[in-house]
Structure 1
Amino acid sequence: MIHVEPRGSITLVTIDRPERRNALDHDALAGLESALAAAHEGSSRVLVLTGAGGHFCSGADLSGVEDEGFVAALARVLQGLRSAPFVTMAIIDGFALGAGTQLAIACDLRIATATAGFGVPAAKLGLMVDQWTVRRLVALVGQSTARHVLLSTDVLTGQRAFDLGLVHRQGDLDEGLDWAGRIASLAPLTLQGLKIGLDEADPPEATSPAYAAAFDRAWSSEDLAEGLAAFGAKRTPEFRGR
């Protein structure tokens, strides 16, 4: 499900659930946490995260998304990616939706094919992402595009994401690994120090009381139950704002 392949100073981590387009469940999140721990213990200078079977990650496996443990585990993985003492890179092909976009933007660097797709379809289901995700998206692409992505649920193509600066380079797995290899040859202490400075320039991680209240309302709402039921039945949800 989560494959970890040490390649010298690079650790290649692959999400492999092709039958679910690499959607994340509890086991996948546990595997990602273990992969991060292994990279810490080893000699990794770059951790590369990608997906198998033509997709990066289609989001959360909705069969377990209402479990508070799932939300907490996802938060730990995102924190681990963004605070790692080594460079983290996402190589994206196919869909990176919901939690997939969250994984991608938690990484330091992103390379994607022109046909990749980024989106946060939370409002189609009645759930909410954490406030860090909102702030991070604003920091990366600006208020206007962040509002477009979050409020419309439209999907950005890899080409559009590159044009906006959300993606740093266009390319496939081989090109991404070549880039990772060049970064791994740089001075690791310098990269660690620069990451500290960049992280300190990031928006604050603390959640505002207003956002926390809205988050709790959404996750305990009838609308969420309706959104998940409609998704399972492949019908259009009827949201009532309660």
Structure 2
Amino acid sequence: MELSEPQLLHTVADSVATVVVHHPAKRNAMTAAMWRALPPLLDTLAADPDVRVLVLTGQGGTFCAGADISTLRRSPEEAQGLAVRAEEALAAFPKPTLAAVRGHCVGGGSQLAAACDLRFAEEGALFGVTPAKLGIVYPASSTRRLVSLVGPATAKYLLFSGELIDAERALRTGLVDEVLPEGELAKRVGEFTRILASRSQLTQAAAKEFANGRTDRDAHWSAQMRESGDTAEGVAAFLERRQPRFTWSVPGRG
């Protein structure tokens, strides 16, 4: 397969999986095949014990310009269903996820970024949720996720108008967590993912469930904490002034 073809590329290095949306001919727009490919790829990476963090980004200077419009012309309902399944699979990824955004992050690109736990953007990035430009009903699950990030007023602004906002406004509204100067995004993402990879997966997995609304599993996570040994290791490392060596890992998906 030639690299000019639309596809999802991925690498794993230093406990970080990097998934790259690669469709340079259409500003990294997601084709139907790419939407379909994302959930099984995420399953594979979730089951990999060497992966502790996942970064989603786009090839070159664009994150993702949305869905390939040609797929919408053939069957908008099917295309939207594929996008929602991919978005939900990303949101359910059991380890920390971070979207590294350059350039346009629009439509389906915003869906993917919002489904990540964190979003870092380079100055000059532009964000938009554009179904109103196409007469599409934005999915309820995607709308709720957007509202949880930016609040009802900003979500309505984005959905009603389809207008793009810059990285600084995205930062103010909570759509983005950090904005980096041009040329500094990769360095900061590398630094931060190293921090995430060094922390307790037990803490991260429980916090992700709770933050995502799963609040009925206190007993489960308390048992995991007692059995894991991570707490004893963390306390010992703190007292001994060394880096902890946490051993609990997210169970593989059977």
TM-score by length of 1: 0.79
Which residue of 1 is the match for residue 71 of structure 2?
64
Aligned AA (1:57):
C
Are 1:178 and 2:187 counterparts? no
Which residue of 2 is the match for residue 166 of structure 1?
175
Query: In 2, distance between residues paired with 1:138 and 1:67?
Result: 23
Counterparts in 2 of 1:35 and 1:174: CA distance versus 1, 3 Å:
farther
Aligned AA (1:105):
A
Are 1:55 and 2:62 counterparts? yes
Unaligned runs of 5+ in 1: 203-242
Which residue of 1 is the match for residue 26 of structure 2?
20
TM-score by length of 2: 0.76
Mean alpha-carbon deviation: is it higher for 34-43 or for 2-11?
A: 34-43
Counterparts in 2 of 1:173 and 1:128: CA distance versus 1, 3 Å:
farther
Q: Superposition pairs for residues 1-242 of structure 1, below 5 Å?
A: 1-43=7-49, 44-65=51-72, 66-171=75-180, 172-200=185-213
Identity in percent = 35
Root-mean-square deviation (CA, aligned residues, Å) is 1.5
Counterparts in 2 of 1:178 and 1:120: CA distance versus 1, 3 Å:
same
Give the match's secondary structure for 1:37: helix
Query: In 1, distance between residues paired with 2:76 and 2:154?
Result: 30
Contact 2:67 2:107 in 1 (8 A): yes
Query: In 1, distance between residues paired with 2:8 and 2:200?
Result: 29
Contact 1:9 1:184 in 2 (8 A): yes
Query: In 1, distance between residues paired with 2:105 and 2:208?
Result: 24
Deviations 1:128-165 (A, max 9, x none): 22011211211111111111111111111111101222
Deviations 1:178-216 (A, max 9, x none): 2112111100011001111111169xxxxxxxxxxxxxx
Contact 2:27 2:64 in 1 (8 A): yes
Bigger radius of gyration among the two: 2
Which residue of 2 is the match for residue 205 of structure 1?
none
Superposed structure 1 runs of 4+ greater than 3 Å apart: none
Aligned length: 202
Unaligned runs of 5+ in 2: 1-6, 216-254
Contact 2:39 2:90 in 1 (8 A): no
Aligned AA (2:104):
F
Contact 1:96 1:116 in 2 (8 A): yes
Deviations 1:77-124 (A, max 9, x none): 111111111011100000111100000000000000121111111111
Query: In 1, distance between residues paired with 2:14 and 2:42?
Result: 16
Aligned AA (2:55):
V
